[in-house]
Amino acid sequence: MTFRQARWDEPPLWELAPPKTATTNGPAIALPGVPDRWRRQTALRWPELSEPEIARHYTRLSQMNFGIETSAYPLGSCTMKYNPKVSEMLARRPGAADVHPYQPENTVQGSLELIYRLEKLLAKVTGLREVSLQPAAGAHGEYAALLMVRAYFQDQGKLGQRTEVLLPDTAHGTNPASAAMAGFTTREIPSKNGCVDLGRLKEAISERTACFMLTNPNTAGLFESDIMLIARTVHEAGAMLYYDGANLNAIMGVSSPGRMGFDVAHLNLHKTFATPHGGGGPGAGALGAGEELAPYLPVPRVAKDKRRYYLDYQRPKSIGKIKTGYGNFGLDLRAYVYILSHGEEGLAHVSRRAVLNSNYLADRLGKFLPRPFGKLVKHEFVLSGARLKEEGVRTLDLAKRLLDEGVHAPTVYFPSLVEESLMIEFPETESRRELDAFVEAFDRAIHDTPQHLREAPKNLSVGRVDEVRAARELQLSWKDLRTVPVPSAPAGRPATTPAPP
């Protein structure tokens, strides 16, 4: 069976029904008390469409998109697992969706209880004292955590001195970016055999270090077995240890950030706890903190007084707010459903199955491409496509060729310490049949001719996309599109985008 993605010549919305160019739709509508100066003089140029037109347009677009229900997504560090339908159903209940964050507390006891319960459950999973659900995403949680570290050292009178954040060269890009936003300088610690080089960490760490940020297992798919020594080194230097929870899916029920000695951690609920990725978001970035940093968590905290839940702002050390509201509640609910469904043993089994999938696949794919690091991996592993370069084939070509097989490509060119790297993660929701099918697809792809690989993909809605042209021409909205012809526009539709007046 050969995979073929839908290929619709689907024009952008405004070409379906070119917007009216009348001078105004503003002053025709009475607005009590608003001066004419304030009124919109140019009509909003957006099409008036019927529901069937909209439904067909977006259904066609959806058919030109991979999703977890159309194909496996072996993206390393992204934990693309199946998103249960029951969570979707429950998140849409009026009791969840039709609740305004500014309603009086006695009308939102259910929402507060759900947040309270999930925070407690995540505290147990992480082994940390308190959890806040306020951050909107993982990077947002990282940023909040670093602000907490900042505030902590400020209270100690050491902020002027502790200006540096250390991180391994395998760290996710968000780590150094968050550290820089929080006003720290960053310094990378080189890895040895894919793990933190403890000697180099000891050399680099000093009284200037505020925090060491670590993912464990790391992005090479390896568990940092020196973690106890790392934690001791960091703490003896008076610094904080930060856990990037992107890879938590590997260790639930086996270890935890708290047990490993981390002081603060973020979790991506859209990874480990199966909330949908939504084409790039929304996510949810739960933030856990140990004893020293817990007082600095964002406010409000959800607290309980006898049987009544309330929003607690009386946290004098708190960093304050990092977003409007109390977090992505709709996603929190889904994560709660996921934890409740799995329970203690189920979560532990999730990690076992994810690690088994990864080792099985690493073993089989290791026959095609070299694995630069250790035999035993956790939830993901890295291959190097460097040898393909001899035939003029890049890892990117292999990734595009895999798309033609109807499977998503792995993460490519990360981590950067491996030349031409592919980072592969098949979470527990993928069956052995799915893994074997991926191995077969990989086999076909890697043994295809170099020319075919370079010309891939052929079976998708478009061929290889010219990203260089995109960056050079910068057509970023419909206004920019006016001079570009629409190739093969169907009959009856304009061949060019109507120019805005």
Partner 1 sequence: MLRSLGLPSFDALFADIPKGVRVGRMGIGPGRTEPEVVADVDKILARNKPASRFSNFLGGRISSRYLPAVVDALISRSEFLTSYTPYQPEASQGMLQALFEFQSLWVELSGLDVANASLYDGATAAGEAMLLCRRIHPGDRFLVPASLPWEEKSVLGNYGVGLGLKVAEIPFDPVTGTLDGEWIDREVRRGDVFGVLADVPNGFGLVDERVLDLKSAIGTVPLVVSADPLALTVLQPPGEYGADIVVGEGQGFGMPPSFGGPLLGLMACRREHVRFLPGRLVGATQDVNGRRAYTLTLQTREQHIRRSRATSNICTNQSLVALAFVLYASSVGPTRLARLQAELAEKAHALATALHGLEGLKVPRFTAPFLGEFTMELAHGNAVGFLDRMLAKGVLAGHSLSDPLRAVKSGPELVHVAPSQAADTADIRKYVRAVRETLAPGPAGGP
Residue with tokens 């889904």: 334
- 114 vs 120, 121, 290, CA distance in Å? 10, 10, 22
Q: Min. distance of Cβ 15 from partner 1 in angstroms? A: 11
Q: Min. distance of Cβ 500 from partner 1 in angstroms? A: 9
Of the two residues 92 and 389, which places its CB atom closer to partner 1 in the complex?
A: 92
> Across the beta sheet with 421-424, what order do the strands follow?
381-384, 421-424, 411-412
Of the two residues 390 and 459, which places its CB atom closer to partner 1 in the complex?
A: 459
CA distance 237 to 223: 23
Q: Give the CA diameter of the chain.
A: 74
Of the two residues 104 and 492, which places its CB atom closer to partner 1 in the complex?
A: 104
CA distance 166 to 190: 11
CA 297 to chain CA centroid, Å, is 22
Of the two residues 11 and 390, which places its CB atom closer to partner 1 in the complex?
A: 11
Please choose, from the candidates 346, 292, 290, 341, the residue with its C-alpha nearest in 3D space to the C-alpha of residue 128.
290
**Full DSSP string of 359-407:** HHHHHHHTTTS---S-S---S-EEEE-GGGGGGT--HHHHHHHHHTTTS
Of the two residues 316 and 492, which places its CB atom closer to partner 1 in the complex?
A: 316
Of the two residues 140 and 162, which places its CB atom closer to partner 1 in the complex?
A: 140
Q: Min. distance of Cβ 209 from partner 1 in angstroms? A: 15
Of the two residues 336 and 388, which places its CB atom closer to partner 1 in the complex?
A: 336
Reduced to 3 states, what is the DSSP secondary structure of residue 185?
Answer: strand
User: Phi, psi at residue 164, to the nearest 5°?
Assistant: -120, 140
Q: Min. distance of Cβ 344 from partner 1 in angstroms? A: 4
Of the two residues 147 and 369, which places its CB atom closer to partner 1 in the complex?
A: 147
Q: Min. distance of Cβ 242 from partner 1 in angstroms? A: 13
CB 291 within 8 A of CB 264: no
Can you say whether residue 162 is alpha, beta or left, with left for phi > 0 and alpha for psi between -120 and 50 degrees? beta
Residue with tokens 């994810």: 354
Q: Min. distance of Cβ 89 from partner 1 in angstroms? A: 8
CA distance 415 to 442: 20
CA distance 431 to 434: 5
Reduced to 3 states, what is the DSSP secondary structure of residue 173?
Answer: coil
Of the two residues 206 and 359, which places its CB atom closer to partner 1 in the complex?
A: 359
CA distance 497 to 426: 42
Q: Min. distance of Cβ 301 from partner 1 in angstroms? A: 12
Q: Min. distance of Cβ 282 from partner 1 in angstroms? A: 4
CA distance 41 to 65: 38
Q: Min. distance of Cβ 324 from partner 1 in angstroms? A: 5
Please state, as a whole number, how many other Cβ atoms lie within 10 Å of the Cβ of residue 412: 18
> Own/partner pairs for 366-375, CB < 8 Å, 24+ apart?
368/442, 368/443, 368/446, 369/422, 369/446, 372/194, 372/220, 372/418, 373/193, 373/194, 373/220, 373/221, 373/222, 374/193, 374/194, 374/222
Q: Which residues of 214-224 are buried (b: 16+ CB within 10 A; e: fewer)?
A: bbbbbbbbbbb
CA distance 187 to 203: 12
Of the two residues 166 and 390, which places its CB atom closer to partner 1 in the complex?
A: 166
Of the two residues 325 and 450, which places its CB atom closer to partner 1 in the complex?
A: 325
Q: Min. distance of Cβ 350 from partner 1 in angstroms? A: 11
> Which stretch of DSSP H or E encloses residue 264?
strand 264-268
Q: Min. distance of Cβ 133 from partner 1 in angstroms? A: 9
Of the two residues 54 and 499, which places its CB atom closer to partner 1 in the complex?
A: 54
The one-letter amino acid code at 381 reads: F
Structure tokens of 120?
A: 């407690």
